[in-house]
């Protein structure tokens, strides 16, 4: 595959997006199946009535909570991981684009795409910790 060929770049980026969405869907479905199995014959309508007064129903959304939930096969943790994969898919597309533009020797697009990547990562990783910021 010639990385300087625009068609090759489109194929690579298309595969990244396709496989990211497929992986996200598989992990989310795995969590949903685990949720259905763990809850058994419980009325499913209780999951559809989201209680805004109790955010996330006491689920630990920290990284350590996610990791411990994954190792103990907590269904909500697997669903959360699927959503993380879904969010990471377009970010990885931008990251790969930086490398593809660099391999192509297109400095302008490396700078533009690098700026977009920086803004994406800043908005996801830094803004939640800004005091008084509520998204």
Q: Is residue 101 part of a domain?
A: yes
Query: What's the pTM?
Result: 0.77
User: Quick check: is 134 in a domain?
Assistant: no
Two structure tokens written together for 91: 């970010």
Pick the residue with more confidence: 1 or 97?
A: 97
* 76 burial type by CB count under 10 A (0-12 exposed, 13-18 middle, 19+ buried): buried
Determine, yes or no, domain membership for 135: no
* 75 located within any domain: yes
Is residue 1 one of the residues assigned to a domain? Answer: no
Burial letters 2-34, b for 16+ CB under 10 A, else e: eeeeeeebeebbeebeeebeebbeebbebbeeb
- Residue 42 counted as domain residue: yes
Cα distance between residue 6 and residue 38, in whole Å: 48
In angstroms, the CA 86 to CA 14 distance is 15
Residue 52 has pLDDT above 90, yes or no: no
Q: Give the closest residue to 79 by CA, choosing from 70, 71, 89.
A: 70
Domain range for 53: 6-129
Q: Which of 1-5, 83-87, 103-107, 123-127 has the lowest mean pLDDT?
A: 1-5
* 93 part of a folded domain: yes
Provide mean pLDDT across the span 82-99.
Answer: 94
> What was the pLDDT predicted at 57?
57
pLDDT at 132: 75
> CB-based contacts of 57: which residues, under 8 Å, 6+ apart?
51
Domain count, the chain: 1
Copy the structure tokens of residue 135: 């998204």
Most confidently predicted of 18-22, 34-38, 54-58, 104-108: 18-22
pLDDT band at 36 (very low <50, low <70, confident <90, very high): confident
**Residue 48: pLDDT band with limits 50, 70, 90:** low
Domain contains 99: yes
- pLDDT of 96 strictly over 50: yes
pLDDT value of position 108: 96
Q: Is the pLDDT of residue 92 over 60?
A: yes
Element (H, E) at 20: helix 6-39
């Amino acid at each position: 595959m010639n990385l300087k060929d625009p068609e090759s770049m489109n194929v690579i980026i298309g595969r990244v997006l396709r496989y990211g969405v497929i992986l996200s869907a598989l992990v989310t479905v795995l969590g949903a199946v685990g949720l259905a199995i763990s809850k058994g014959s419980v009325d499913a309508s209780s999951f559809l009535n989201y209680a805004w007064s109790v955010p996330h129903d006491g689920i630990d959304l920290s990284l350590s909570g996610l990791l411990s939930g994954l190792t103990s096969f907590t269904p909500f943790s697997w669903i959360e991981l699927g959503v993380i994969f879904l969010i990471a898919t377009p970010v990885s597309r931008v990251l790969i684009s930086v490398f593809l533009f660099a391999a192509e020797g297109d400095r302008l697009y490396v700078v533009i795409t690098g700026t977009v990547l920086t803004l994406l990562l800043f908005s996801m990783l830094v803004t939640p910790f800004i005091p008084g910021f509520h998204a």
